[in-house]
A and B are shown apart, each in its own frame.
Chain A
Amino acid sequence: MDEPAIRTEKLGKSFAARRVLTGLDLEVPAGAIFGLLGPNGAGKTTAVRILATLLRPDAGRAFVLGNDVVAQPQRVRSVIGLTGQYAAVDDLISARENLYLIGRLLGLRPRAARARSAVLLAAFGLSDTARTKVKDYSGGMRRRLDLAASLVGQPAVLFLDEPTTGLDLASRNQLWDMIRDLAASGTTVLLTTQYLDEADRLASQIMVIDRGRTVAHGTPSELKSLAGGQVLEVRPLRAADVPAAAAALAGLVGAPRPEAEDGLLAVHVPDEEMVTAAARRLAAAGIGVSHLAVRLPSLDEAFLAITGHRAQPEAAAPALNGVAR
């Protein structure tokens, strides 16, 4: 089992003039939950669609369990499951019919397809509503059914493209538990997400991508230290003291220059002892402080720390090309 479950070599893809993937190298060991983390427009979905044989790459190669996604798409399809960003279930028929349909399309006999559908409905807590039309389902139920639909064929490799976007906290936790169970039973999971938190909780390895290329790769704890560990927020009593406070904090070893917004300074502190050091420096400079707090970095700040620029929403994509802060 030396062959990784998923491997890409310099994967490239453009849509018209927009380069979405620029040489993505990915290696996911079998049985792992691998988090692909990045902002909207980073190329996460494109990477997943190429791996799931829905898109052809312009450059590079991609393999799933050793099968080339371009040369052997049917073999890839027979080992993967895909849960996309939008629950791809048929609204007009029941949950039971949805799973039965997939089972039959996968070549199961009617009896086997019914049985598989019943097992999955029970596992995902949908037995009681199995005959309800999916259009009457809640968002959380749809996502569960969607995940169930991608598991009908008992795939060895599962792609989850932003599986919890738009879900409430309870449904999100429920889905996370299900994903952990799947990985525990040996399924390789490639998960894309915009949430640092989600990648942190689920993935054993995380790759941060931005504008179609890898910007960081490692275990969650490795990435967190890269991202600055924690963020120290300081609000000087007098707004006029902001530059002086910034200068005092900038001298902290290893910390990047603080960002100031509306009189509030935020600085990455990789090491908790720096908080004390920061307080001492402020006191030494004679700066009174009205607010001093430590919090976890947001995705934005992690991004800033790792990539040197802020994560951009997809709407700003045209301006993105070649604009590096």
Chain B
Amino acid sequence: MMVMQTGVMARRNLLHVLSDPQQMIGMSVQPLMFLLLFVYVFGGAIAGSTSGYLQYVLPGLLVQGIGFGTTQTALGLNADFQRGLIDRFRSLPTARPAVVAGRVTADLIRTAWSSLIIVGVAVALGFRFHGGPAGAFGAFGFVLALGVGMCWLMAFLGVALRSPESVQATGFMLIMPLTFASSVLVPAASMPGWLQAFVKVNPISIFATAMRGLMLGGAVATPVLQGLAWIAGMSLVFGALTVSLYRRRA
């Protein structure tokens, strides 16, 4: 029953995306813009060549894209509260987590879509997988898992914060520094010592390292396991917080 209800809610949220050209553009074009800007503006300066930088940055950009993409989860849930829709859903004999889980499911599908677009364009621009088919599929699976973890974090923000403006601002303030102060865009080696210390423990760096291992070859076991542990922890903690807050929020 809950799976069915989650599916129904996911379908409704995907209908929103399909009916809103702005959202379609946002989820398709915006990550591509990041890819092209970073590779062609900074690539030569950072890595000596745009093709070299493309290899380095794509795995990290996929992680960053999930960070920015899932703010939509927070905004969408928040909007449902604003419109009073949540009251309607909560007054139905529906399984409690179905509304939030439906949102997460729909956003996971969006995330997969955005990631595939970026990878497709990157391959056309010259990106090559060096981790074999297992690595490529592993990377896709890891992106989806990360999407789940980030969606729950964002769902929590969406339910916990009152206005869409504060959701927007908080999401940005969280994702921007976390993804920039990480190994997503550049290796930590050139950063000051105190920042390197932070970059090292920043889970975004761990995710980026795992993705790099899967897509480019190299040691993957440690970063992937660490990354999955973070994802599992995020999903459990924020999933539980979100569902309990959802029940109580008046």
- For A75, the chain B residues whose CB sits under 8 A away are 93
Nearest A residue (CB) for B12? A101
Q: Shortest CB–CB separation between residue B47 and chain A, in angstroms?
A: 43
Q: Shortest CB–CB separation between residue B118 and chain A, in angstroms?
A: 26
CA distance A81 to B12 in the complex (A): 21
Contact of A105 among B8, B16, B83 (CB under 8 A): B8
Contact of A77 among B9, B12, B93 (CB under 8 A): B93
Contact at A92–B16, with CB atoms within 8 Å?
Answer: yes
- For B89, the chain A residues whose CB sits under 8 A away are 105
- For B12, the chain A residues whose CB sits under 8 A away are 90, 93, 97, 101
- For B200, the chain A residues whose CB sits under 8 A away are none
CA distance A97 to B9 in the complex (A): 11
- For A89, the chain B residues whose CB sits under 8 A away are 85, 88
Q: Does B190 contact A (CB under 8 A)?
A: no
CA distance A150 to B85 in the complex (A): 12
Q: Does B169 contact A (CB under 8 A)?
A: no
Q: Does A71 contact B (CB under 8 A)?
A: no
CA distance A273 to B16 in the complex (A): 64
Q: Shortest CB–CB separation between residue A308 and chain B, in angstroms?
A: 31
Query: 0/1 per residue, A106-117, Cβ < 8 Å to B?
Result: 110000000000
Contact at A74–B93, with CB atoms within 8 Å?
Answer: yes
CA distance A85 to B5 in the complex (A): 26
Contact at A90–B85, with CB atoms within 8 Å?
Answer: yes
Chain A interface SS verdict (over half): loop
Q: Shortest CB–CB separation between residue A85 and chain B, in angstroms?
A: 8
Q: Does A298 contact B (CB under 8 A)?
A: no
Q: Does B134 contact A (CB under 8 A)?
A: no
Q: Shortest CB–CB separation between residue A3 and chain B, in angstroms?
A: 20
- For A231, the chain B residues whose CB sits under 8 A away are none
Q: Does B173 contact A (CB under 8 A)?
A: no
Q: Which of A22-30, A46-54, A175-183, A317-325 contacts B (4 or more CB under 8 A)?
A: A46-54
CA distance A95 to B87 in the complex (A): 18
Nearest B residue (CB) for A133? B19
Q: Shortest CB–CB separation between residue A45 and chain B, in angstroms?
A: 11
CA distance A88 to B90 in the complex (A): 12
- For A84, the chain B residues whose CB sits under 8 A away are 84, 87-88
A-B contact count (CB 8 A): 75
Interface members, chain A 128-177 (any B CB < 8 Å):
133, 149-150, 153
- For B9, the chain A residues whose CB sits under 8 A away are 101, 105
CA distance A91 to B1 in the complex (A): 26
Interface members, chain A 70-104 (any B CB < 8 Å):
74-75, 77-78, 80-82, 84-93, 97, 101-102, 104
Tally chain A residues at the interface, Cβ within 8 Å. 33
Contact at B91–A86, with CB atoms within 8 Å?
Answer: no
Contact at A86–B83, with CB atoms within 8 Å?
Answer: yes
Q: Shortest CB–CB separation between residue A1 and chain B, in angstroms?
A: 23
Interface residues on chain B, size class: 20 to 34
CA distance A286 to B8 in the complex (A): 77
Interface members, chain B 13-58 (any A CB < 8 Å):
15-16, 19-20
Contact at B93–A82, with CB atoms within 8 Å?
Answer: no
Contact at B87–A88, with CB atoms within 8 Å?
Answer: yes
Contact at A88–B85, with CB atoms within 8 Å?
Answer: yes
Nearest A residue (CB) for B98? A105
- For A78, the chain B residues whose CB sits under 8 A away are 93
- For B244, the chain A residues whose CB sits under 8 A away are none
Q: Does B92 contact A (CB under 8 A)?
A: yes
Q: Does B124 contact A (CB under 8 A)?
A: no
Q: Does A285 contact B (CB under 8 A)?
A: no
Q: Shortest CB–CB separation between residue B243 and chain A, in angstroms?
A: 15
- For B20, the chain A residues whose CB sits under 8 A away are 92
- For A102, the chain B residues whose CB sits under 8 A away are 88, 92
Contact at B19–A106, with CB atoms within 8 Å?
Answer: no
Contact at B88–A53, with CB atoms within 8 Å?
Answer: no
CA distance A84 to B90 in the complex (A): 12
Q: Shortest CB–CB separation between residue B247 and chain A, in angstroms?
A: 10
Q: Shortest CB–CB separation between residue A162 and chain B, in angstroms?
A: 13
Q: Does B94 contact A (CB under 8 A)?
A: yes
- For B83, the chain A residues whose CB sits under 8 A away are 86, 88, 90-91
A97-B15, A101-B12, A105-B5 are contacts. A53–B90 as well, Cβ < 8 Å? yes
CA distance A101 to B91 in the complex (A): 14
Interface members, chain A 18-61 (any B CB < 8 Å):
49, 52-55
- Chain B positions within 8 Å of A, measured between CB atoms, are 1, 4-5, 8-9, 12, 15-16, 19-20, 83-85, 87-94, 98, 250
The 6 closest A-B pairs by CB, nearest first: A77-B93, A88-B84, A78-B93, A104-B8, A88-B88, A82-B91
- Additional A-B contact list (16), CB under 8 Å, known A84-B87, A101-B8, A106-B92: A54-B91, A55-B250, A78-B93, A82-B87, A88-B84, A88-B85, A88-B87, A90-B12, A92-B19, A93-B12, A93-B19, A102-B88, A102-B92, A105-B92, A107-B1, A149-B88
- Chain A positions within 8 Å of B, measured between CB atoms, are 49, 52-55, 74-75, 77-78, 80-82, 84-93, 97, 101-102, 104-107, 133, 149-150, 153
Q: Show 8 residue pairs from A and B whose CB-CB distance is below 8 angstroms, ordered by the A residue.
A: A49-B87, A77-B94, A85-B84, A88-B83, A88-B85, A92-B20, A106-B92, A133-B19
